[in-house]
Amino acid sequence: MSATATIASRVAPRFSWRQPSVIPGFGLTFGFAITYLSLIVLIPICALVLRTMELSWQEYWAIASSDRVVAALQLSFGAALIGATINLVFGLIVAWVLVRYEFPGKRVIDAIVDLPFALPTAVAGIALTAIFDKNGWIGRFLEPLGIQVAYTWLGVVVALTFIGLPFVVRTLQPVIVELDREIEEAAATLGAGRWHAIVKVIMPSLLPALLTGFVLALARGVGEYGSVVFIAGNIPYRTEIAPLLIVIRLTEFDYAGAMAIATVMLAISFAMFLIINLIQAWARRRFGYV
Amino acid sequence: MSDHAIAAPLNWRAPTNEARPVKAVLIAVAMLFLGVFLLIPLLVVFVEALSAGLPAFLNGLSDPDTVSAIWLTLLVAAISVPANLVFGIAAAWAIAKYEFRGKTMLITLIDLPFSVSPVIAGLIYVVLFGSHGYLGPWLKAHDIQIIFAFPAIVLATTFVTFPFVARELIPLMQEQGTQDEEAAVSLGASGLQVFLRVTLPNVKWALMYGVLLCNARAMGEFGAVSVVSGKVRGQTNTMPLQIEILYNDYQWVAAFAVASLLALLALLTLIVKSALEWRYGHELSNGHR
């Protein structure tokens, strides 16, 4: 123990901002992690923000509030909102069914829920386009009904629903597993019908997880590019998403335009990131889980 | 309990269960939703790829530009994934084995790339290294090409796959605590010995899990790479970009042939991932059990 004691006493005064430890390697691993994080993530993001700050406020506002940018942001945000809402409803049903019921093929179905995480977005994009094209497997049945999905805003919603699908299911599943069945039993003995118990007893404890999954799906949808550009049709003012507009500005060598839109989107994602953390902090206080 | 069940009438249900028809409807709705949004897209990739027969499928894959795209994709993943693996281990070691101020902040920053749009992930490197960027003039004077070339593709891919390994390891290693490592040190083990003999065996499946997801994303990344690659055929096109080019050229079968390779990779990833969860779930971080 004398060796460890000397290490501890040697290290402790130098790093007063951390507790002494006998395990070696803090300087090496912490130093490497911070350097790598700075080089790959922090410095490039700061560069974007600094470069954008070279624009005057009027210039910035003129770009950010131009009709085409506003239309693109509205589409990205609106379609992501609808997609996340669809996932909220169906994700709850899928998660409930996967945790509470037994049926053949359950494990395979549970595994396939993660497909949108594993399937490259470009592959998802061309596959969804092929399906919802007016000659496609599903599109041909929608065509006579006058519903066109591919190359309209509905296509954007479909792509963003696909992309956001795992978030609600995967945040809900562990929470449903942990639900205390005794509380449901108590509700039943007190005369609550099943529906009443679900609405008044189960739903409130699922609420934080539902909200977290919803915002995660929303955040992913707002920034999504690959799966959307194939199915959207990309008509300016109508089916052009915000990330695509950044790409278009870049190909036009309009760096100021690209950076202005990008920083607006960064601000939106940080806001949602903050919201998720607030929900989780609230859930920890209120329900004791993340 | 068993005689209780016998005494109950056949259509009896526990008050904490849903009625059987409700169950059936919920299962049907879930299956329909997953069928439309997951199963059919997966199926259509393979059907379209093989729609003109096997020779056309193989022909689509043997195009020299496609072959070079496959090689580029493998090469990029072969650099990005190990880089993020080393980072993940270092970050998890520093965060899980020590107590220091600002730890929560550090964990938050590691997750940051997940909340950034892939297009912005590409843009930040254009701002830094592009001809109008901060380092652009200097790079040009020294004849170093980063944007629209291999280095930027690697950087953008590394950015979008940045948190995968770290976020698997950090919660698990925090949960495991420091007692094993402290014991090893007190018995005279060096830092490297502690890591290889004590820590690594405890986290090896979680490590593999993170690498698996990291690799799937690295090989499939589209948005970030498309911003920085310049899309020179046969040179700076990865597989997802090659899919886009073939698709826009109306070469459907070839586009879906390349897509089917990536879909196979996705399926393989899901199978190995599920196998890890079923077999070694107790050795993965919370939430994968």
Nearest by CB to residue A225, choosing from B30, B117, B220, is: B117
Q: Are A145 and A218 in contact (CB under 8 A)?
A: no
Mean pLDDT by 10 residues, chain A (290 residues): 50 66 91 96 96 93 95 96 97 96 92 95 97 94 93 96 96 91 86 84 90 94 95 93 95 93 93 87 75
The distance of A48 to chain B (nearest Cα, Å) reads 6
How far CA B163 is from CA of A159, B91, B214, in Å, comes to 24, 10, 8
How far is the C-alpha of A15 from the C-alpha of B188, rounded, in Å? 23
**Total number of domains in chain A:** 2
CATH assignment at residue B91: 1.10.3720.10
Residues B146 and B255 in one domain: yes
Cβ of A47 and B19 within 8 Å? no
- Rounded to a whole number, what is the largest CA-CA distance in chain B? 88
φ and ψ of A162, to 5 deg: -60, -50
Question: How many Cβ atoms are within 10 Å of A273's Cβ, its own excluded?
Answer: 19
Q: Which two tokens stand for residue B112?
A: 């940051």
Residues B22 and B89 in one domain: no
Stretch 61-80 of chain B: residues touching chain A, C-beta under 8 Å: none
- Rounded to a whole number, what is the largest CA-CA distance in chain A? 83
How far is the C-alpha of A82 from the C-alpha of A89, rounded, in Å? 11
Q: Is B259 on the interface with A (CB under 8 A)?
A: yes
Residues A36 and A85 in one domain: no
Judging contacts by C-beta atoms under 8 Å, the chain B residues touching residue A184 are 16
How far CA A77 is from CA of A95, A149, A208, A241, in Å, comes to 25, 18, 22, 9
Residues A116 and A130 in one domain: yes
Residues B100 and B243 in one domain: yes
How far CA A30 is from CA of A27, A120, B90, B91, in Å, comes to 5, 32, 7, 6
Nearest by CB to residue B90, choosing from A29, A44, A269, is: A29
Proportion of chain B above pLDDT 70, given as a percent: 94
Residues A110 and A200 in one domain: yes
First to last CA, chain B: 29
Cβ of A126 and B162 within 8 Å? no
Cβ of A33 and B120 within 8 Å? no
Residues B111 and B26 in one domain: no
Residue A102, domain extent = 60-287
Cβ of B45 and A123 within 8 Å? yes
What was the pLDDT predicted at A77? 95
What was the pLDDT predicted at A197? 85
List pLDDT tens digits, range B229-256. 988 888 899 999 999 999 999 999 999 9
* Preferred mutation among A1, A15, A38, A40 to probe B, highest tally of B CBs within 10 A: A40
* Preferred mutation among B73, B116, B239, B251 to probe A, highest tally of A CBs within 10 A: B116
Counts of helices then strands in chain A (DSSP H, E): 16, 0
**For residue A261, what is the nearest residue in chain B, using CA coordinates?**
B120
How far is the C-alpha of B222 from the C-alpha of B69, rounded, in Å? 13
Nearest by CB to residue A118, choosing from B130, B190, B270, is: B270
Q: Is B39 on the interface with A (CB under 8 A)?
A: yes
Q: Count Cβ atoms within 10 A of the Cβ of residue B81 and give its class: 0-12 exposed, 13-18 middle, 19 or more buried.
A: buried
How far CA A125 is from CA of A79, A216, A283, B57, in Å, comes to 15, 20, 35, 20
Of A13, A38, A54, which one is at a domain's C-terminal end? A54
CATH assignment at residue A92: 1.10.3720.10
SS3 B93: helix
Nearest Cα residue to B155 out of B124, B115, B195: B124
Residues B107 and B224 in one domain: yes
What was the pLDDT predicted at B1? 45
Nearest by CB to residue A243, choosing from B17, B102, B117, is: B117
Amino acid letter for position A246: I
Cβ of B127 and A30 within 8 Å? no
Cβ of A30 and B98 within 8 Å? yes
Residues A196 and A141 in one domain: yes
How far is the C-alpha of A94 from the C-alpha of A112, rounded, in Å? 12
Cβ of A122 and B270 within 8 Å? no
Q: Which helix (H) or strand (E) holds A14?
A: none
Residues B235 and B274 in one domain: yes
Cβ of B16 and A161 within 8 Å? no
Q: Count residue pairs from A and B with Cβ separation < 8 A.
A: 298
In a domain, B289, yes or no: no
Beta bridge partners of B122: none
The distance of A195 to chain B (nearest Cα, Å) reads 9
Cβ of B26 and A96 within 8 Å? yes
**Total number of domains in chain B:** 2
In a domain, B288, yes or no: no
| B189 secondary structure, DSSP code | -
How far CA B48 is from CA of A96, B14, B70, in Å, comes to 34, 48, 20
| A16 secondary structure, DSSP code | T
* Mean pLDDT across chain B: 91
The distance of A227 to chain B (nearest Cα, Å) reads 9
Residues A50 and A64 in one domain: no
Cβ of A47 and B124 within 8 Å? yes
Residue B189, domain extent = 56-283
How far is the C-alpha of A119 from the C-alpha of B264, rounded, in Å? 9
List pLDDT tens digits, range B114-130. 989 999 999 999 999 98
Stretch 201-220 of chain B: residues touching chain A, C-beta under 8 Å: 213, 216, 219-220
Nearest by CB to residue B15, choosing from A130, A188, A262, is: A188
Residue B287 has pLDDT above 80, yes or no: no
Residue B268 has pLDDT above 90, yes or no: yes
Q: Are A201 and B94 in contact (CB under 8 A)?
A: no
What was the pLDDT predicted at A10? 52
Cβ of B117 and A224 within 8 Å? yes
Cβ of B113 and A28 within 8 Å? no
Residues B8 and B83 in one domain: no
Nearest by CB to residue B243, choosing from A34, A122, A185, is: A122
Judging contacts by C-beta atoms under 8 Å, the chain A residues touching residue B219 are 120
What was the pLDDT predicted at B10? 65
The distance of B287 to chain A (nearest Cα, Å) reads 6
Q: Is B191 on the interface with A (CB under 8 A)?
A: yes
How far is the C-alpha of A287 from the C-alpha of A207, rounded, in Å? 10
The distance of B206 to chain A (nearest Cα, Å) reads 17
In a domain, B111, yes or no: yes
How far is the C-alpha of A8 from the C-alpha of A3, rounded, in Å? 9
How far CA B217 is from CA of A119, B27, B149, B172, B232, in Å, comes to 8, 31, 20, 22, 22
Where does the pLDDT of residue B289 fall: very low under 50, low under 70, confident under 90, or very high at 90 and above? very low
In a domain, B278, yes or no: yes
What was the pLDDT predicted at B46? 97
